[in-house]
């Protein structure tokens, strides 16, 4: 990698704004993007892994189904092994979409792997001066948290552009990023609640109520970001966590790392999503997924909910990273306050 190339102040022929003295003094001043509306233009980016051509067409269809116009560059279709182009390609695409005045929001095509590689090279000053809705999940956790940590911009942990846009998923997108309402209580997914697999059922493991800013995302990414300057504090926050394809012992290991290396134990509350394909093996010794969660987090004396409708699942809600929220386990409500609209 040519590090000098990353340090240039000119990318794509456009001058990037430098951080001002005010920016340095107030790095965490909350920034809110404008709510999206039908007719807006969405910039599609692939900040992590590449996307097959047929899935790309599905992403465009998903955007158009919401009434959006779509904009993308050739870079978002690149393949570089397990990455969607080089780090510079993916970084340029991210910067271009924030700079482009025609682009109203930025939607990540998928997660995969690669977002953490970009974090030291992102022009956070550019993002602070051009706040836009940015949405994605899985590996995009790294982008959302780093941008929030460095700029105060509220991003959205929600479906990737190629995700299955079920009626529940669409309802949550419209309520949270396409609405001017100031407060919203996220409903549970009826489809999930009726599934035979009880890991999809929203359950209260520790009762209580709490208020705080929402932060979190994919557990593997949270663990990978420990020790970096891009992971926000968990103290007094409502922390949401999900993962996919990890055995209970692996989830135990990552939760243990967070408990030992961060202030996760001082969170205001914990909201766990649906951990898809994370069941214990049928043979051998293992705690169950739920037993693992209870063992690691159930003794923290803070509200704990398991199976909330987000994660690598079709019926997923959208969670604003950095927004004030309230959790009430008695009524199983997660209430979003002062939704990020201008």
**Span 38-66, pLDDT tens digits:** 999 999 999 999 999 889 999 999 999 99
Class of domain 3-165: alpha beta
pLDDT of res. 273: 97
pLDDT over 90, % of the chain: 85
* pLDDT above 90 for 201: yes
Classify 183-337 by CATH class. alpha beta
Give the pLDDT of residue 341.
57
Q: Where in the chain is the domain with CATH 3.40.50.10740?
A: 3-165
Average pLDDT, the chain: 91
Q: At 118, is the pLDDT very low, low, confident or very high (cuts 50, 70, 90)?
A: very high
Active site residues: 138, 242, 312
HEC letters along the chain: CCHHHHCCCEECCEECCCCCHHHHHCCCCCECCCCCCCCCEEEEECCCCCCCHHHHHHHHHHHHHCCCEEECCHHHHCCECCECCCHHHHHHHHHHHHHCCCCCEEEECCCCCCHHHHHHHCCHHHHHHCCCEEEECHHHHHHHHHHHHHHCECEEECCCCCCCCCHHHHHHHHHHHCCCCCEEEECCCHHHHCCCCHHHCCEEEECCEEEEEEEEEEHHHHHHCCCCCCCCCCCCCEEEEECECCCHHHHHHHHHHHHHHCCHHHCCEEEECECECCCCCCCCCCCCHHHHHHHHHCCCCCCEEECCCCECCCCCCCEEECCEEEEECCCCEEEEECCCCC
What local confidence, expressed as pLDDT, does residue 89 receive? 97
Average pLDDT over residues 290-318: 97
26 pLDDT above the threshold of 80? no
Q: What does the pLDDT read at residue 340?
A: 62
Predicted TM-score (pTM) of the model is 0.90
- State the average pLDDT over residues 235-239: 98
Examine the pLDDT at 14 and tell me if it is beyond 60: no
Query: Which regions of the chain carry the CATH code 3.50.30.60?
Result: 183-337
* pLDDT band, very low/low/confident/very high, at 113 (cuts 50, 70, 90): very high
User: How much is the average pLDDT of 226-234?
Assistant: 97
């Amino acid at each position: 990698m040519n590090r000098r190339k990353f340090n240039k102040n000119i990318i794509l022929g456009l001058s990037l704004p430098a951080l001002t003295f005010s920016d340095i003094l107030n790095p965490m001043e909350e920034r809110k993007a404008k709510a999206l509306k039908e007719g807006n233009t969405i910039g599609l980016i692939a900040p992590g892994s590449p996307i097959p051509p047929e899935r790309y067409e599905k992403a465009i269809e998903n955007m158009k189904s919401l009434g959006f116009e779509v904009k993308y560059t050739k870079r978002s279709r690149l393949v570089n092994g397990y990455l969607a182009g080089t780090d510079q390609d993916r970084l340029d695409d991210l910067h271009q979409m924030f700079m482009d005045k025609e682009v109203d929001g930025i939607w990540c095509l998928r997660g995969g792997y690669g977002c953490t590689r970009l974090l030291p090279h992102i022009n956070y000053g550019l993002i602070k001066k051009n706040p836009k809705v940015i949405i994605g999940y899985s590996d995009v956790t790294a982008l959302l948290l780093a941008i929030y940590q460095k700029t105060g911009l509220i991003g959205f942990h929600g479906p990737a552009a190629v995700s299955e846009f079920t009626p529940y998923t669409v309802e949550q997108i419209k309520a949270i990023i396409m609405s001017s309402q100031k407060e919203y209580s996220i409903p549970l997914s009826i489809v999930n609640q009726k599934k035979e697999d009880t890991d999809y059922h929203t359950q209260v493991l520790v009762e209580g109520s709490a208020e705080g800013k929402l932060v979190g995302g994919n557990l593997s990414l949270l663990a990978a970001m420990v020790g970096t300057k891009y992971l926000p504090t968990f103290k007094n926050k409502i922390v949401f966590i999900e993962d996919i394809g990890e055995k209970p012992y692996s989830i135990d290991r990552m939760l243990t790392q967070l408990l030992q290396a961060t202030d996760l134990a001082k969170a205001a509350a914990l909201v766990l999503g649906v951990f898809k394909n994370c069941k214990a093996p049928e043979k051998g010794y293992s705690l169950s997924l739920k037993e693992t969660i209870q063992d690691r987090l159930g003794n923290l004396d803070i509200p704990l909910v398991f199976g909330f409708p987000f994660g690598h699942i079709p019926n997923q809600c959208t969670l604003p990273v950095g927004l004030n929220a309230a959790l009430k386990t008695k009524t199983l409500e997660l209430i979003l306050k002062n939704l990020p609209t201008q």
